[in-house]
Amino acid sequence: MIEFSHLNKTFGDKQVLTDVSGVFERGKTNLIIGTSGTGKSVLLKCLVGIFEPDSGKVLYDGRKFNGESNDKQQEIRRDIGMLFQGGALFDSKSVESNVMFPLNVLAPKMSKSEKLDRVDYCLRRVGLEKSKKLMPSEISGGMAKRVGIARAIVMQSKYLYCDEPNSGLDPQTSHRIDELIKDITHEYNITTVVVTHDMNSVLEIGENIMYMFEGENVWQGHKDNILQTTVKPLQDFLFANKLIRDMHKFS
């Protein structure tokens, strides 16, 4: 479980996060949705300590995270897997080495063949078992995303962050990634946080959805309740999608 309260973050004189509080539950797929530029990626980066929030508190299963010493933060970070919005693959390493990398530095006790098996398994889950020898410069944007997902799940971390895992993917692959995220969340009972723009994902895997608007958390709840929302910006956000407009009409 990840709890955060009263997070504020400004860049210069621009307030990006305003008093954001919320809870991401364990064993559930927690989603963050919201328009572009509203601070979703910044929130993730505050939660993992890439940005230091100006004020507020972040707890990982009760363990204090922000403001703690480097050692303490590092310890918690070793339990975190993260997919960055741009993939963030190491461009001097092959697809296989990228996925292997966390194992090499964080799991030194694993044998070489165990690592290879694990890497193969993760690449198979994202449908890239044939591309493992390619370099990041030789694969497409969607493939880079999927390599990033494989790398994020390779450690079986307790906490999994995915920043837009299915942007730039075709509907079929996108669906497959959603299933993958849902499965590992339930299978390993981990805390998963997914930033997404994809309404299919929202309706499919949104067990705990947080809607951000202009740097604030303005709505949080289950996918089954989201269509009944009375929050105006969220209604606008949802009804921009034809599928949802139609669903609303018929219900």
Ligand X SMILES: Nc1ncnc2c1ncn2[C@@H]1O[C@H](COP(=O)(O)OP(=O)(O)OP(=O)(O)O)[C@@H](O)[C@H]1O
166 is a contact residue toward Mg ion (CB under 5 A)? no
Scanning 30-38, 75-83, 112-120, 169-177 for contacts with other proteins by CB under 8 A, the matching segment is: 75-83
Widest CA span in the chain: 57
Among the listed residues 94, 13, 24, 9, the one whose alpha carbon sits nearest the alpha carbon of residue 60: 24
165 is a contact residue toward ligand X (CB under 6 A)? no
Scanning 15-23, 69-77, 118-126, 218-226 for contacts with other proteins by CB under 8 A, the matching segment is: 69-77
Q: Which is nearer to other proteins, 100 or 226 (CB)?
A: 100
Q: Determine the Cα–Cα distance for residues 23 and 244; give it in Å rounded to an integer.
A: 26
Per-residue x/- track, 23-42, Mg ion (CB under 5 A): ------------------x-
29 - beta bridge partners? 192
Least separation, in Å, of the C-beta of 155 and other proteins?
8
The encoded tokens of residue 71 equal 């050692």
Per-residue x/- track, 3-32, ligand X (CB under 6 A): --------x----x----------------
The encoded tokens of residue 13 equal 């004189």
Q: Which is nearer to ligand X, 94 or 166 (CB)?
A: 166
For residues 44 and 9, the answer to whether their CB atoms sit within 8 Å is no
Least separation, in Å, of the C-beta of 84 and other proteins?
5
The encoded tokens of residue 247 equal 């669903």
**Site for other proteins, residues 86 to 125, rule: CB under 8 A:** 86, 88-91, 101-102, 104-106, 108
Q: Which does 171 bind (CB under 5 to 8 A by kind): Mg ion, ligand X, other proteins, none?
A: none
145 is a contact residue toward ligand X (CB under 6 A)? no
Locus of tokens 């993760």: 122
The CB-side HSE value for 35 (13 A sphere, CA atoms) comes to 13
> Order of strands, edge to edge, in the sheet holding 216-221?
80-83, 159-163, 191-195, 29-33, 208-213, 216-221
The gap between the terminal CA atoms of the chain, to the nearest Å, is 34
Q: Determine the Cα–Cα distance for residues 240 and 251; give it in Å rounded to an integer.
A: 17
The binder of other proteins chosen from 75, 120, 129, 204 (CB under 8 A): 75
141 is a contact residue toward ligand X (CB under 6 A)? no
Give residues with Cβ within 8 angstroms of 243, minimum separation 6. Answer: 199, 200
CB atoms within 10 A of CB 244: 18
The binder of other proteins chosen from 37, 50, 222, 246 (CB under 8 A): 50
Q: Which is nearer to ligand X, 51 or 131 (CB)?
A: 51
Residues near other proteins, by CB under 8 A? 45, 48-50, 70-71, 74-75, 77-78, 80, 82, 84-86, 88-91, 101-102, 104-106, 108
Instruction: Please give the residue ranges that form the binding site for ligand X (CB under 6 A).
Output: 11, 16, 34, 36-42, 85
